[in-house]
Homo-oligomer: A and B are copies of this chain.
Amino acid sequence: MHGLQAKAEPARVKSALSTNAVKPGKSGRMTQTSFTLHASDGRARTGVISTPRGDIRTPAFMPVGTAATVKAMLPESVRETGADILLGNTYHLMLRPTAERIDRLGGLHVFMNWQRPILTDSGGFQVMSLASLRKLTEQGVSFKSHIDGSKHMLSPERSMEIQRLLGSDIVMCFDECPALPADRDRIAESMELSMRWAARSKAAFGDRPGHMLFGIQQGGLEQDLRQQSAEALREIGFDGYAIGGLAVGEGQEAMFGCLDFAPGQLPEDRPRYLMGVGKPDDIVGAVARGVDMMDCVLPSRSGRTGQVFTRLGQLNIKNARHQDDPRPLDEDCGCPTCRNYSRAYLHHVFRSQEIISSMLLTWHNLHYYQELMDGMRTAIAKGGFAQWASEFHALRAQGDIDPL
């Protein structure tokens, strides 16, 4: 459905990728979305997803805007951190203010004042984690709202309808995802259901130029189930492929173990999206294994709880060691928080439960995440990813600066 644009080939583009990169889409015309790989280094890759609403530089980190806002941030500030795309949550938005209302108001982009690309999840994951009285059938999931107890249902068809009403640029298939650990039979059964739902999602999505539909690979940590899932998805055919069912409690080692094979099971010429990941070192490890896109609430949620990410690891602004410290969170960070505020101030406003604490710490954390992505993109383009990753780990191993 979407073609891959041929672009000037940087020195380090692998031949396998550049060959794929000139294949036109099935329709034979240059459609309004594309994925162009610019370079790869080991299994890490950098490129651009183009959409009518703007380009998404990959590897990309997508801040989460659950209820039509990235919490404690104005959208123009989110953009200033370097984000090319936001994630919106179908489950939350369908309950409040409802997809129909957002549609009447001109769609999610207008509603929340973010004109760049938006990816929406399918609602499947959060129905399982948030809703009550869930009933799962072949048709879909019925449930009660965690907000007001009202009854709702989600199915592949309804999820596609909601994501269309929202005006999402990148739509996710409706899937089911069991928490790990789960036994192999349960994982296989769930994966197979998700693959049937993927086919129904594709059929319900239809032909929507300028919008992309991503399939979601399932199969837990089982290589053969992941392979079956990948084959089923490739057979259906998607504009991008997500790796689902990870970051659900399995731990980094198990997740990396899975990422050692899962991305390679997916088409090389389509974006690969690892859902719900993660900590900075999770992200670096995922990119090293061929992942192109990620999302996580961690930088924004941590901003509200006083947890700060810097090149030197993590710090807790609530700690008394910061109360007289005139230094910024990170001397080398260019974000407004680090340019204008001391640790002492951030400690004070956090302790005083002032809203500006969430605003400034979220801004810093999102800025840090985007700088991380930018650093990786540059390093991959130069063929220096391994060295970059080694410096990343060495800096973090130092830990936060000493107290004064």
User: What is the size, in residues, of chain A's interface with B at 8 Å between Cβ atoms?
Assistant: 36
Contact assessment for A111 and B344 in the assembled complex, using a CB-CB cutoff below 8 Å: yes
Sorted nearest first, the 7 A-B pairs with minimum C-beta distance are: A72-B355, A97-B348, A113-B340, A69-B356, A67-B352, A69-B354, A105-B344
A251 at the interface (CB under 8 A from B): no
Contact assessment for B105 and A68 in the assembled complex, using a CB-CB cutoff below 8 Å: no
CB distance from A391 to the nearest CB of B (A): 31
Q: C-beta contact mask, A337-352 vs B, less than 8 Å → 1, else 0?
A: 0001110110111011
The answer to whether A96 and B352 touch (CB under 8 A), given A68-B345, A74-B359, is yes
Q: Give every chain B residue within 8 A of A67 (Cβ-Cβ).
A: 348-349, 352, 354
A10 at the interface (CB under 8 A from B): no
A43 at the interface (CB under 8 A from B): no
Ordered by A's residue number, 23 sampled pairs between the chains whose C-beta atoms are within 8 Å are A67-B348, A69-B354, A69-B356, A72-B356, A72-B359, A74-B359, A96-B351, A96-B352, A97-B347, A97-B348, A101-B344, A105-B324, A105-B326, A105-B342, A105-B345, A111-B342, A111-B345, A111-B348, A113-B341, A113-B345, A355-B355, A355-B359, A359-B359
CB distance from A139 to the nearest CB of B (A): 29
Q: Which residue of B lies closest to A357 (CB)?
A: B69
Q: Give every chain B residue within 8 A of A336 (Cβ-Cβ).
A: 74
Q: Give every chain B residue within 8 A of A71 (Cβ-Cβ).
A: 354-356
A29 at the interface (CB under 8 A from B): no
Chain A residues numbered 330-386 whose CB sits less than 8 Å from any CB in chain B: 336, 340-342, 344-345, 347-349, 351-352, 354-356, 358-360
Q: Which residue of B lies closest to A112 (CB)?
A: B345
A104 at the interface (CB under 8 A from B): yes
Q: Give every chain B residue within 8 A of A399 (Cβ-Cβ).
A: none
Out of B74, B96, B111, name the residue touching A356 (CB < 8 Å).
Answer: B74
Q: Give every chain B residue within 8 A of A359 (Cβ-Cβ).
A: 72, 74, 355, 359
Q: C-beta contact mask, A61-88 vs B, less than 8 Å → 1, else 0?
A: 0000001110111100000000000000
Number of copies: 2
What is the interface of chain A, defined by CB distance below 8 A to chain B? 67-69, 71-74, 96-97, 101, 104-106, 111-113, 323-324, 326, 336, 340-342, 344-345, 347-349, 351-352, 354-356, 358-360
Q: Which residue of B lies closest to A356 (CB)?
A: B69
Q: Give every chain B residue within 8 A of A69 (Cβ-Cβ).
A: 349, 354-356
Query: In the docked arrangement, what's the CA distance between A326 and B359, Å?
Result: 27
Contact assessment for B97 and A344 in the assembled complex, using a CB-CB cutoff below 8 Å: yes
Contact assessment for A323 and B97 in the assembled complex, using a CB-CB cutoff below 8 Å: yes
Contact assessment for A355 and B358 in the assembled complex, using a CB-CB cutoff below 8 Å: yes
Q: A112-B345, A355-B358 are in contact. List 9 more A-B contacts (CB 8 A).
A: A69-B349, A72-B355, A73-B356, A101-B344, A111-B345, A113-B340, A113-B341, A355-B355, A359-B359
Query: In the docked arrangement, what's the CA distance between A380 and B56, Å?
Result: 52
Query: In the docked arrangement, what's the CA distance between A326 and B69, Å?
Result: 17
Q: Which residue of B lies closest to A347 (CB)?
A: B97
Q: Which residue of B lies closest to A113 (CB)?
A: B340
Query: In the docked arrangement, what's the CA distance between A184 and B26, Å?
Result: 90
CB distance from A333 to the nearest CB of B (A): 16
Q: Which residue of B lies closest to A344 (CB)?
A: B105
Q: Which residue of B lies closest to A354 (CB)?
A: B69
Q: Give every chain B residue within 8 A of A358 (Cβ-Cβ).
A: 355
Q: Give every chain B residue within 8 A of A68 (Cβ-Cβ).
A: 345, 348-349
Contact assessment for A101 and B324 in the assembled complex, using a CB-CB cutoff below 8 Å: yes
Query: In the docked arrangement, what's the CA distance between A73 and B72, Å?
Result: 11
CB distance from A196 to the nearest CB of B (A): 34
